[in-house]
Structure 1
Amino acid sequence: MHRPPAPETSDDTLAPALRDVRAVVFDTDGVITDSARVHAAAWKTAFDAHLRAHPPEDPDRRRPFDVRDDYLRHVDGKSRLDGAAAFLAARGIDASDETVRAVAAEKERLFAERLREHGVDAYPGTVRLVRALRRAGVPRAAASASRHAGELLSRAGVLDLFDVLVDGGEAARLGLAGKPEPDLFLEAVRRLGVGAGRAAVVEDALAGVEAGRRGGFALVVGVDRAAGTDTGARLLRHGADIVVRDLAELVVGGAPK
């Protein structure tokens, strides 16, 4: 069940890592909201059904979609079409436009169904950080390859915490390249009126931190919520300057909510 964000307090301040930053761009799924788990579950259902119907010749490639490793490696942070194509190609399955679109459409249907049924929440630590940035006068943008980003943020009760939203619909309209290209993030900071060299990107996807690095952002923050894995090390290798488990680590002062 959806939980509204905690009431705001005024005793959090920014950690030293963010004190010279003049704008921050946040990825949406897995960074602002817990919707990454819903995306991963929808991908698993769609991919596993396709694997059963069209098993790869190599038995080792017939294993089910893994909601951690395969999600992070192939689809996290990417558009639906790019993610579907990447996973199918990795398993040696037909990745023609028709097949990719069919699998992506099934994933979209499943995701929308689960979103209607269960909703999503914003991570409390992220809300703390975004509110601390707002009090400090630092502009904030939300960015996502998903066309659902605005709906997700609205359902989670945090849309009004961001000055700018650049979602998958805007990316398609403007012809922005997908991650790991930095186009989405560069468009977000352009709308905030701050150069990338004075801004930060916050991401949980390998393609996302690589995009931040390619875009020349002053600080790339990786978010690793997968305890007990090597995700943090992989985020660092792909371009993160620092990795945190929760974005509350980037505020100092008040009691955690």
Structure 2
Amino acid sequence: MSTSSSGPHGAPHPLARTSVVFDLDGTLVDSEPNYFEAGRQLLARHGVPDFSWSDHEEYVGISTAETLALWREKYGLTAPLEELLAEKNRRYLELAAAETHAYPEMRAFVELLHAAGVPMAVASGSSRAAITAILRGTGLDALLTTVVSAEEVEHGKPEPDVFLEAARRLGVRPADCVVMEDAAPGAVAAHKAGMRCVAIPYVAASADDPAFATAGLLFPGGQDEFTARAAYDWLVRTAPSS
């Protein structure tokens, strides 16, 4: 097995100066259906009965707390934000515990990076409890041990805070990080952080969003097009020289 410190014949591994930061929802795992259902249930209980999947798509990539703040204004919800956040997280965790799947090619990509000794982190707009439950449930917690939630930083995406904190915890420079993202706000955040980005749009219709134009590698077809080998080969091909 190779490591990030050396390659064949003792040469530096091509990814010796590369770290990878993963968004979670819609990137590593297909959790958006659970977020939609948790949000639909919450809104129905608070008098909004017709929240649809297309409505949900408008909030993909935005942290739960910021989404709920927008909903309070849009739908005239009167419950305190903290109460809504606790309710949605509780509903989501119940759904996530029952069934959340990692994308097979994304799991393979994590395994490739782990085998190469590449430092990795998860930086997500979800709560830390949700991140922990999902990583444990999918078995990815064994490979992804550095985690940053939106709760732990001042601003969520599209601000770069979660990605910059991930780099800090990994002990690496932001410029040496590559972000894996499915949503436009995350691509914007990666760009603001000074990090390269691999974009795998969750919403196919958003692939032409100007935010994704800043990505170094774009899979317009999303997870249907993404392959671990294509992403890994791109990382090697474009890696900073030592």
Task: Using structure 1 for the length normalisation, give the TM-score.
Answer: 0.72
Q: How far off its partner does 1:241 sit?
A: 3.5
Q: How far off its partner does 1:47 sit?
A: 2.3
Q: Structure 2, unaligned stretches of length 5 or more?
A: 1-13, 234-242
Give the alignment partner of residue 148 of structure 2, picking from 138, 158, 166.
166
Match of 2:76 in 1: 94
Match of 1:27 in 2: 23
Aligned-partner Cα distance in 1 for 2:77–2:189: 24
- State the superposition RMSD in angstroms: 2.6
Are the structure 2 counterparts of residues 52 and 135 from structure 1 closer, same or farther at C-alpha, using a change threshold of 3 Å? closer
Match of 1:154 in 2: 136
Contact 1:212/1:220, CA 8 A, preserved across alignment: yes
Deviations 1:161-180 (CA, angstroms, capped at 9, x unpaired): 124111245x1xxx432111
Match of 2:66 in 1: 82
Deviations 1:141-182 (CA, angstroms, capped at 9, x unpaired): 11222221012101101111124111245x1xxx43211111
Are the structure 2 counterparts of residues 233 and 50 from structure 1 closer, same or farther at C-alpha, using a change threshold of 3 Å? farther
Deviations 1:49-76 (CA, angstroms, capped at 9, x unpaired): 43438xxxxxxxxxx3232x433323x3
Letter in 2 for 1:129: F
Contact 1:50/1:103, CA 8 A, preserved across alignment: no
Q: How far off its partner does 1:184 sit?
A: 0.6
Letter in 2 for 1:124: P
Aligned-partner Cα distance in 1 for 2:90–2:24: 20
Give the alignment partner of residue 73 of structure 1, picking from 33, 50, 58.
58
Q: How far off its partner does 1:39 sit?
A: 1.1
Contact 2:96/2:133, CA 8 A, preserved across alignment: no
Q: How far off its partner does 1:240 sit?
A: 3.2
Match of 1:10 in 2: none
Aligned-partner Cα distance in 2 for 1:190–1:234: 29
Give the alignment partner of residue 106 of structure 1, picking from 87, 90, 99.
87
Aligned length: 212
Match of 1:224 in 2: 201
Letter in 2 for 1:250: A
Q: How far off its partner does 1:193 sit?
A: 1.9
- SS of the residue corresponding to residue 233 of structure 1 reads coil
Q: How far off its partner does 1:22 sit?
A: 0.6
Match of 1:13 in 2: none
Contact 1:47/1:103, CA 8 A, preserved across alignment: no
1:1-257 equivalences under 5 Å are 22-52=18-48, 64-67=50-53, 69-74=54-59, 76-89=60-73, 91=74, 93-94=75-76, 98-116=79-97, 118-146=98-126, 147=128, 148-169=130-151, 171=152, 175-217=153-195, 219-226=196-203, 229-234=204-209, 236-237=211-212, 239-244=214-219, 245-246=222-223, 247-248=226-227, 249-251=230-232
Contact 1:25/1:185, CA 8 A, preserved across alignment: yes
Higher-RCO chain (CA-CA 8 Å, sequence separation at least 6)? 1
* Percent identical residues: 29
